[in-house]
Structure 1
Amino acid sequence: MQQPPSPPSLLLTLVLGLWIVVGPSPALAVTTTPDNTLGQSLVYPKDANILLGALFPIHTRQRDVATGVNVCGELQDEEGIQPLEAMLYTLDQINEDPDLLPGVKLGALVMDSCNAPNLALNQTLGFIKGYLAGHNKYHQSEFTCGDGSAPTYRGGEFDKVVGVIGGQQSSVSVQMASVLRVIELPQISYLSTSATLSNKDRYPFFLRTVPSDTTQAQAILRVLQDFKWTYASIVYSSGEYGEGGFHQLLKKASEYNVCFPTPHHRLSSDDSEDDYKRVVTALIKGKANVVVVFAEKQVALRLLETVRLRGQQNRFLWLGSDGWSSSSLMNVEAVAEGAISVQPLIRSLPGFDEYFTNLTPVTNTRNPWFTEYWQHLGCALDAPTCPSVGENYRQVPWLHFVRDSVIAFAHALHTMWEDKCKGRKGLCEAMVHNGHIHGQDLYNHLLNVQFPDVSNSTFRFVSSGSGPARYSVLNYQHDDHYAYSWTKVGTYTNTTGATAELHLDMDSVKYRDSQDFPESSCGIPCKPGQAKILMTDKCCWYCKNCQSYQYLNTTTQLCVDCGECMKPEVGQEKCVDKEEKFIDYKNRWAITSLAFASIGIFSTVLVGVIFWVHLDTPVIKASSRELSYILLGGIFFSFVMSFVIVAPPSRMTCGLTRFFLGFIYTVCYAAILTKTNRISRIFNQNITKSQKAKFTSPFSQVVIVSLLVSVEVIINVVWLLMHNPDIKYMCDRASDFRTRICGGLDDYTYIVGLIYPSLLVLLCTLYAIKTRKCPDGFNEARYIAFTNYTTCLIWLVFVPLYLSTGSSDDIRIVTLAMFLSLGGFVQLGCLFFPKVYIVLFKPEKNTRDVIMSVKRNSYPVDTSFKTSGRFPSLPLQERPALQSSPAIFFHNGAMDSPLETQKHPAKAAAISAGATGTVVLCPPRHTSKTLPPLSTETPRRASKMFLSVIQNKDSDPPAF
């Protein structure tokens, strides 16, 4: 046989021993009073097989002035007598149902709690005593009476209690649950909503048919949110109910944009009048026009009464919890007018009105407190009717929760009967275990019950052991006859665990004399895109507009900067990427640079064609044709690169830009450097040595250029591998766009590629200086120098202009493109246009004589070089004593000096007459020093050496 779990033996021994010493209670009185109500109990029906214990606040609680302890006060008709009769009414319906607990009669054992936790605790000990007596009788006999019989408690009715209904207030239910857990007796409360009672570790056998204060607090906050009351004071009562609700309100307030100013106000029913006056004074001085009262009835009524005495009955709108807002508000109706409350779902108990109004002391003998109730209404005991019943009766709106508590026990017992008794009528041994039903088994069946409630909706307990979240929103109104009542104006439900739904009939909600509802906010509600800046009191604030580049953080209510490449969306609730922008071929700046580059491409091609047509003329041959075409290729690509730079940025275009930016200048200046180096080696070599300059052939020059260019190629390839081309965005807060550019436009990536070309430019400048005294056809020193100087000037202008454009990438890219085009035009204009001009417009200068001539305008040289000297007009004795190196002439393939022309007057005449084939190679070098006599062999040796150099078949420019 299965035995019930044994409670702590020490506790059982002490309680049962105390009961034996005290003995059984005296006989119960028929008529109750506040003094003897704690000794009264209701047991109905007498032949019940199973009893449900119950504690109802039949009387109020009051403090004894002499002793300072809680005692029972006046009788409560609405909150005491009505729930008791609702339980008896429901039991009658259960016992009349043949399909529910067949063969079993369910009864009730009811006691008065007087709405006091300590008194309820004492009453609950009766269930402990009854359990111990039954355990001693049916299971393990440890105690006996003097005659040897097993002791019984109050006639043995308490032995049949299998569960308890109650209490009403949370503080009472906490005391009951703490005791009943010892004997594993299930408990169902019909109105206790404290969130503390959901703690299954402390109260493992507690259930309730109403929802928890956690959801009630959310419902209150939702009402505040819908009315846009963001600032409200709060008053709560001490104890489990008020303090639990208060903490839930504070915990959830921020989620609903509601703020409760400090200090918060706690009151109890035992506080003095000065305490209440202090709280009311603080409320009046505050800025809040709405006060949330999460308190028990006694606290709320005293608070409203204090406000009335202060003459501030129109000062506040009250938002109440279920602890007081469902009761009659005698003497404070005008103060509470317009109040809004949240109550567990209000439903009328069908048939109860007719049942209750027909009760009389004669017909209702099972209720020992009904006679007192009859007298409380001012009716005689022998009166067959009492008009006051009909005049003062109003069904309490939460009686259906009492009904659900009783029905839940009945259905749990029925499912247990089906499991244990297998359809046999009455209680079977497997269910009662020798007269005792296990509390744990019954509790498990209670968790799984399902039955229709008064609205024909399915009732079931949620995981926390509470009823589903169903609330009614009430409004305290008065009608045309100045009668006040709570009127239902909305509902709040959350039965599925998803988002709760609040439905308010705003047309039915009324304030005082139909006035508009007051505002309650310590700051003006901020508009979208405005930050809430808190003041000294964290509930007060002022609004500040967010900047155009900021968004509003809805969690902190502060403005937060968006990234430079992001902007706030409409409403400034979050940041989004700015619209992408990049330069393309449709941009006006791009069109300008491309038009400039197109002119350069056309000019380069035209110069190339002219060079090709006049390829064999002296001017073109003297310019080193192969190197000139390499230079033209570099210039051509400098113009073409504008189309790549202006193209929409991609990894491909960015890589090409980085590679060709330095590559183009390297090609150009490698060709110029090779040309100037060749001319320098040919014309500035030591003519005393009978050898020609090396590596002066066209093939050698191409190889040298290739080697110089290959260095830049290696540099660029390595740098591209180390720093891959990528896309990035340039952003400015003042702009609504983010500009897509190549990664590296604003760093040192391009500088690396320009270091090597800069060295070539420097070397070209040096060699240009060295070749400044060569024949005019080969002397490009001033052109190359001008090209280099102009290029350096362009670079000096480009760098600050490029860096000073900020994030305007259109100008940056165009600046880079124009930089390349200007460099190409400078090289094209300085190095090619003079030759093109001679070829096209001065063909008389495109001869070998002119190309090989040297002009020195700094000295008044007599080109006839007659023996009379440099100053023929002066007398011989007045001419300065100057010595000059002899001029060397090339005449019909022979080299002649002035000495030889003196020996051959015919040659001299031919030269002075400008005979064909006479070319002056180099002018005489004048010096103020007296030179030694020049032998006739020296000019001949120099002439042969220079002739062998310039007639080198592998040398393109000098070989005519």
Structure 2
Amino acid sequence: MCCDEETYGGSAKTPVTFNENGDAPGRYDIFQYQITNDSAEYKVIGHWTDQLHLNMGIMQWVSGDSSVPTSVCSMPCQTGERKKVVKGVPCCWHCERCEGYHYQANEFMCQLCPYEQRPDNNRTGCQPIPIIKLEWHSAWAVVPVFIAILGIIATTFVIITFIRYNDTPIVRASGREMSYVLLTGIFLCYVTTFPMIAAPGVAVCSFRRLFLGLGMCFSYAALLTKTNRIHRIFEQGKRSVAAPRFISPASQLFITFSLISVQLMGVLVWFIADPPHTFVDYGEQRTQDPENARGVLKCDISDLSLICSLGYSILLMVTCTVYAIKTRGVPETFNEAKPIGFTMYTTCIIWLAFIPIFFGTAQSAERMYIQTTTLTMSLSLSASVSLGMLYMPKVYIIIFHPEQNVPKRKRSFKAIVTAATMSSKLSQLASERPNGEVKTELCESVDNSSEYSSHFFLILL
């Protein structure tokens, strides 16, 4: 054949056509199975002769819609979904949503957003994760700030009162020089709350490093020096009438500032080895739902650095507590051993409660808020204990009972020590000798101590 299709006249005078393969073209009737009220039957809805001819008006569909259904295997996927192609059928697929921190890179693939980003609302791209910090108006900050302000006001009032009545017996008996050092430490403990809550920056991070352990170091270095002095005085008095060395105010200040210098030296080395800077922690609040993900703006103070910064002050606190226990039997009228002891016992309880709360919330989404609040509250509470137990009773007497603010009878060093050890000696003799002998020896001890009454010097002031 010279052409693709030939046409001939048939006996019925109708054209007969053959294609290039010698086959006659197809002629088909198209039926649809339709259900009516009376019966169900196949009805002709069109035919095929070279092309499709359909009578859309008489067609029926289960949905009742007269429009022709789409003849596809799978519908297009929505925004944020990828096509998972059915194996062996490339035109068929399942739509899968890009989950978690993934976004739709193309119609067949989801990709993970960069670490500091999250998917946008339609998951067609990524957007930066919001950055947060502790706000001043937050409930986590309002309570510590309020307590710190009250503490600063109270400490300032005590300092002014002591300066105003600097030469009165109560102020002098408290050890003026050491009292001012201790009050400075208490003041710094309260002030530390503000850089801990302020928005992180190079300056704020520097103040955090400096003040974090400095206030506690001032406080407990002064208290340790006081308790150590009391302990040495009474231990020396049991052996000799001579006063021990390094109990003068100048010596006490030198010892205290030597202890404080260790903390300052450590902070200086920290500044040199690792200059202060800020960073954004995206892991702390990286929740499963990207909508709730937040980056936390922080200073570069790790938990290990925090432990090292506070560790020296806590060591001073524990050592001071040990000396407070050793001097607990000293007569209350001669020194501050008992108030210092109660202060240290209470402070130890506060910091023992701080440790599990602070480090036990390391995996919490609220870690930043809980740890900052816990740390600042612990500093303020420990400062409040020292202020309330050591200085508020003195201020009360100075202001409301000035008649009690008078010099007490001075006693010799040996007489003071004798009174301190009298009760323990009585107990020891009572276990060894009859009552009459105990009383006789005790009276002899008191008589012997009277020979030192001419040595009037105020050892404990």
- TM norm. shorter chain > 0.5: yes
**1:743 match:** 300
Structure 1 residues 889 and 642: CA distance shift in structure 2, 3 A? closer
- 1:551 matches 2:268: no
Contact 1:666 1:712 in 2 (8 A): yes
**What CA distance in whole angstroms lies between the structure 2 residues aligned with 1:525 and 1:75?**
43
1:800, distance to aligned residue in structure 2 (A): 3.1
Structure 1 residues 562 and 792: CA distance shift in structure 2, 3 A? farther
- Partner deviation per Cα, 1:685-744 (whole Å, 9 max, x = no partner): 145434221111111111111110111122222234334433232423252432212233
Match runs of 1:695-774 below 5 Å: 695-725=246-276, 726-729=278-281, 730-733=284-287, 734=289, 735-744=292-301, 747-774=303-330
- 1:804 matches 2:361: yes
1:594, distance to aligned residue in structure 2 (A): 1.4
Specify the SS of the correspondent of 1:684: helix
Contact 1:597 1:639 in 2 (8 A): yes
**2:217 match:** 666
Of 195, 215, 235, which residue of structure 2 is paired with 1:644?
A: 195
State the number of aligned residues: 402
Of 390, 394, 400, which residue of structure 2 is paired with 1:831?
A: 390
Specify the SS of the correspondent of 1:605: helix
1:848, distance to aligned residue in structure 2 (A): 3.9
Contact 1:618 1:851 in 2 (8 A): no
**What CA distance in whole angstroms lies between the structure 2 residues aligned with 1:744 and 1:555?**
44
Of 652, 656, 665, which residue of structure 1 is paired with 2:207?
A: 656
**1:951 match:** 457
**What CA distance in whole angstroms lies between the structure 1 residues aligned with 2:147 and 2:315?**
28
1:783, distance to aligned residue in structure 2 (A): 2.5
Structure 1 residues 75 and 554: CA distance shift in structure 2, 3 A? closer
- 1:573 matches 2:130: no
**What CA distance in whole angstroms lies between the structure 2 residues aligned with 1:524 and 1:632?**
76
1:561, distance to aligned residue in structure 2 (A): 4.9
**What CA distance in whole angstroms lies between the structure 1 residues aligned with 2:49 and 2:272?**
86
**What CA distance in whole angstroms lies between the structure 1 residues aligned with 2:20 and 2:392?**
107
TM-score (norm 1): 0.38
Contact 2:230 2:337 in 1 (8 A): no
Match runs of 1:192-341 below 5 Å: 308=26, 333-334=50-51
Structure 1 residues 708 and 551: CA distance shift in structure 2, 3 A? same
Specify the SS of the correspondent of 2:95: strand
- Partner deviation per Cα, 1:28-83 (whole Å, 9 max, x = no partner): xxxxxxxxxxxxxxxxxxxxxxxxxxxxxxxxxxxxxxxxxxxxx51589xxxxxx
**1:74 match:** 2
**2:381 match:** 822
Work out the percentage of aligned pairs sharing the same amino acid.
Answer: 32
**What CA distance in whole angstroms lies between the structure 1 residues aligned with 2:174 and 2:347?**
21
Counterpart AA for 2:396? Y
Counterpart AA for 1:807? A
Counterpart AA for 1:525? P
**2:59 match:** none
Contact 2:192 2:376 in 1 (8 A): yes
**What CA distance in whole angstroms lies between the structure 2 residues aligned with 1:937 and 1:704?**
39
1:533, distance to aligned residue in structure 2 (A): 3.5
**What CA distance in whole angstroms lies between the structure 1 residues aligned with 2:71 and 2:444?**
121
Counterpart AA for 2:325? I
1:639, distance to aligned residue in structure 2 (A): 0.9
**What CA distance in whole angstroms lies between the structure 2 residues aligned with 1:781 and 1:551?**
67
Contact 2:236 2:242 in 1 (8 A): no
- Partner deviation per Cα, 1:473-502 (whole Å, 9 max, x = no partner): xxxxxxxxxxxxxxxxxxxxxxxxxxxxxx
- Partner deviation per Cα, 1:640-659 (whole Å, 9 max, x = no partner): 11111111111321232133
Specify the SS of the correspondent of 1:576: strand
Structure 1 residues 947 and 709: CA distance shift in structure 2, 3 A? farther
**What CA distance in whole angstroms lies between the structure 1 residues aligned with 2:85 and 2:403?**
91
More helix by share: 2
1:663, distance to aligned residue in structure 2 (A): 1.8
Structure 1 residues 556 and 685: CA distance shift in structure 2, 3 A? farther
Q: Which has the higher contact order (CA 8 A, sep 6+)?
A: 2
Contact 1:787 1:827 in 2 (8 A): yes
1:669, distance to aligned residue in structure 2 (A): 0.3
1:536, distance to aligned residue in structure 2 (A): 3.8
**What CA distance in whole angstroms lies between the structure 2 residues aligned with 1:674 and 1:310?**
112
Structure 1 residues 666 and 935: CA distance shift in structure 2, 3 A? closer
**What CA distance in whole angstroms lies between the structure 1 residues aligned with 2:166 and 2:380?**
26
Contact 2:186 2:383 in 1 (8 A): yes
The structure that has the greater radius of gyration is 1
**What CA distance in whole angstroms lies between the structure 2 residues aligned with 1:759 and 1:738?**
35
Contact 1:778 1:851 in 2 (8 A): no
**What CA distance in whole angstroms lies between the structure 2 residues aligned with 1:693 and 1:718?**
36
**1:587 match:** 138
**What CA distance in whole angstroms lies between the structure 2 residues aligned with 1:851 and 1:750?**
47
**What CA distance in whole angstroms lies between the structure 2 residues aligned with 1:720 and 1:840?**
45
**What CA distance in whole angstroms lies between the structure 2 residues aligned with 1:814 and 1:570?**
34
Contact 1:777 1:851 in 2 (8 A): no
Match runs of 1:226-625 below 5 Å: 308=26, 333-334=50-51, 519=70, 521-537=72-88, 539=90, 540-547=92-99, 549-554=101-106, 556-558=108-110, 560-562=111-113, 565-625=116-176
Structure 1 residues 698 and 543: CA distance shift in structure 2, 3 A? same
Structure 1 residues 799 and 308: CA distance shift in structure 2, 3 A? farther
Specify the SS of the correspondent of 2:161: helix
Counterpart AA for 1:824? A
**What CA distance in whole angstroms lies between the structure 2 residues aligned with 1:788 and 1:526?**
68
Specify the SS of the correspondent of 1:748: helix
Structure 1 residues 889 and 700: CA distance shift in structure 2, 3 A? closer
Specify the SS of the correspondent of 1:740: strand
**1:691 match:** 242
**What CA distance in whole angstroms lies between the structure 1 residues aligned with 2:217 and 2:2?**
109
**What CA distance in whole angstroms lies between the structure 2 residues aligned with 1:936 and 1:572?**
93
**1:494 match:** none
Contact 1:776 1:852 in 2 (8 A): no
**1:676 match:** 227
1:307, distance to aligned residue in structure 2 (A): 10
**2:185 match:** 634
- Unpaired runs of 5+ in structure 2? 6-18, 33-47, 55-65
Contact 2:3 2:20 in 1 (8 A): no
TM-score (norm 2): 0.74
Structure 1 residues 936 and 812: CA distance shift in structure 2, 3 A? closer
Larger deviation: 607-616 or 634-643? Answer: 607-616
Structure 1 residues 310 and 701: CA distance shift in structure 2, 3 A? farther
Match runs of 1:898-917 below 5 Å: none
Counterpart AA for 1:739? V
Specify the SS of the correspondent of 2:192: helix
Contact 2:83 2:107 in 1 (8 A): no
Counterpart AA for 1:707? S
**What CA distance in whole angstroms lies between the structure 1 residues aligned with 2:391 and 2:78?**
70
Structure 1 residues 776 and 838: CA distance shift in structure 2, 3 A? farther
**2:9 match:** none
Structure 1 residues 523 and 643: CA distance shift in structure 2, 3 A? same
Match runs of 1:14-53 below 5 Å: none
**What CA distance in whole angstroms lies between the structure 1 residues aligned with 2:444 and 2:120?**
94
Contact 1:728 1:741 in 2 (8 A): yes
1:807, distance to aligned residue in structure 2 (A): 2.8
- Partner deviation per Cα, 1:754-808 (whole Å, 9 max, x = no partner): 1111211111011112222333244433332332232232223323333427232
Structure 1 residues 720 and 768: CA distance shift in structure 2, 3 A? same
1:941, distance to aligned residue in structure 2 (A): 6.7
